[in-house]
Structure 1
């Protein structure tokens, strides 16, 4: 289950105005107005959130002036007038959530300043980082125009279907956006689209990562984890640069630590997808260990003590899942520290059972381990864990809409 976007909380300066200046004939202001009208067209409530009251404009109250200018119906919340702690305290956002009966992941926070970032983080709300008037901060999902925000909202934030695939077996928690393969519809239409985007990087990478991050957000699983960690590719010493590029700023929105080098590939290994006939669980397990000197992203230096321990949860992110060998390897090493793992992939390969390890001993998760034999596994049939059969059809539709999206005619007419 998940939720959809219901509200957008926004700052005034450098979002609706250019350093408190409004130029009526500036095309950017026209697009800001279109964005506000578009939100209401999609039944999303825009709420301006200020610390203090602002002066009237030519004798007209600020909210009345802006609603007239942009031809919309925004609300205004002022912390000082409500005797609430000011930003970056979460009190104002929490007040807005309570008044509208919203959950944190049913809203976005749109801003441009360090104070906006801290407010969103403290409120556990996804930060929409806008740079259409001035350079923005480094956190959140960055947008250069109101048009980009509107497209993001329409394509990613109003979906009826989130995860097509989910294994829910106690400590085994595995999610995938969709299934993928070469032969069956609708899967074959977007399988190559995803594979090139996620393995090599191209113009479609932005779509897939935003689809993944928005699903993590609206399903709420981001809030179950203390850490985010990418699973490395198949070459020794490799990380996962494509996932790092997008997921690291996303994780910062919720004050989740992104451990880009906690899972280490110390030996080359074959891909289960490409070499299914020679796949070996043992080789995968023997090619991975955890990094005792993982980098603390807040300091840029190694942790004095390894960060994983009891009562901690790691959200492990990979692009594709075939038999689950990567995820099971990550789980085995992470659980050996006392922590737990939630595993998330963009695509689960069609017609392949997920092979759960039933018993294994990792003697030291921070060192390479040698196994005497292949571990025993408990296969989970793919069809038993398809939880939303409409998800792939919605995904296909969103791909088609993404590259041709434009303002609805009623917004620009």
Structure 2
């Protein structure tokens, strides 16, 4: 029986892509680099901030350029009011219902911890997340199983008792590396290859479908 839900953040419980794209394109254009389209961003999402900057810069991804664009992006994003970043419809209610069932709720993401907690405090203040494992440059990021394993050890839960809910190939690779079951959501930033991956238990259409697994 599953008693631990490990959620990816962006593309799973939070819709943040619009503001990320706006701020990244501003950072790129400010430093005279070509901007990217929505579809191009969707293809490269999933990694940590350094991997995303590198992919955005393509052949211009020298260490100096990466640091320049990353610092510019962090400044622009930090000052942005992020008005387009909101929970996916239904996710708050689903998390409440899982919490009422006594399911342990956690987050494993490649977004940094401070950013995750800012959004959680604003939009999910009544949800008691037992652990939030975001990107920390000191430790490996997804698809490393480091974050999942840390959550399992912290909460003393076995791999068989955990279910990961994500939206992309990064999440699938992470769960494979951690040997944990996963389901993939279709409202995020995944693609048909992700939806057809044989490792995935199921692909779900609506947030309320998550409840069927607990």
| 2:208 maps to which of 122, 140, 147 | 147
What is the deviation of 1:150? 1.0
| 1:39 maps to which of 64, 81, 98 | 98
Match of 1:385 in 2: none
Match of 2:75 in 1: none
Looking at structure 1, the residues matched to 161 and 121 of structure 2 have their Cα atoms a distance apart, in angstroms, of: 26
Unpaired segments ≥5 residues, structure 2:
18-83
Looking at structure 2, the residues matched to 77 and 54 of structure 1 have their Cα atoms a distance apart, in angstroms, of: 7
Q: Does 1:123 align with 2:184?
A: no
Q: Deviations over 1:306-364 (max 9, x none)?
A: xxxxxxxxxxxxxxxxxxxxxxxxxxxxxxxxxxxxxxxxxxxxxxxxxxxxxxxxxxx
Looking at structure 1, the residues matched to 139 and 190 of structure 2 have their Cα atoms a distance apart, in angstroms, of: 29
What is the deviation of 1:142? 0.5
Tell me which protein shows more helix as a share of its residues.
Answer: 2
Match of 2:44 in 1: none
Q: TM-score, normalised by structure 2?
A: 0.59
Highest RCO, 1 vs 2 (Cα 8 Å, sep ≥ 6): 2
Match of 2:121 in 1: 64
Quickly say closer, same or farther: Cα 1:16–1:77, change in 2 above 3 A. Answer: same
Match of 2:160 in 1: 105
Quickly say closer, same or farther: Cα 1:55–1:103, change in 2 above 3 A. Answer: closer
Quickly say closer, same or farther: Cα 1:117–1:144, change in 2 above 3 A. Answer: same
Task: Describe the SS at the equivalent of 1:5.
Answer: coil
Larger Rg: 1
- The 8 Å contact of residues 5 and 106 in structure 1, kept in 2 or not, is answered as yes
CA RMSD, 1 decimal? 2.3
Q: Does 1:22 align with 2:79?
A: no
- The 8 Å contact of residues 55 and 61 in structure 1, kept in 2 or not, is answered as yes
Match of 1:5 in 2: 2
Figure out how many residues of one structure are paired with residues of the other and give that number: 141
What is the deviation of 1:131? 0.8
What is the deviation of 1:80? 0.8
Match of 1:318 in 2: none
Looking at structure 1, the residues matched to 185 and 204 of structure 2 have their Cα atoms a distance apart, in angstroms, of: 5
Matches within 5 A, 1:221-300: none
Looking at structure 1, the residues matched to 96 and 209 of structure 2 have their Cα atoms a distance apart, in angstroms, of: 14
Looking at structure 1, the residues matched to 212 and 13 of structure 2 have their Cα atoms a distance apart, in angstroms, of: 18
Task: Describe the SS at the equivalent of 2:107.
Answer: strand
Q: TM-score, normalised by structure 1?
A: 0.32
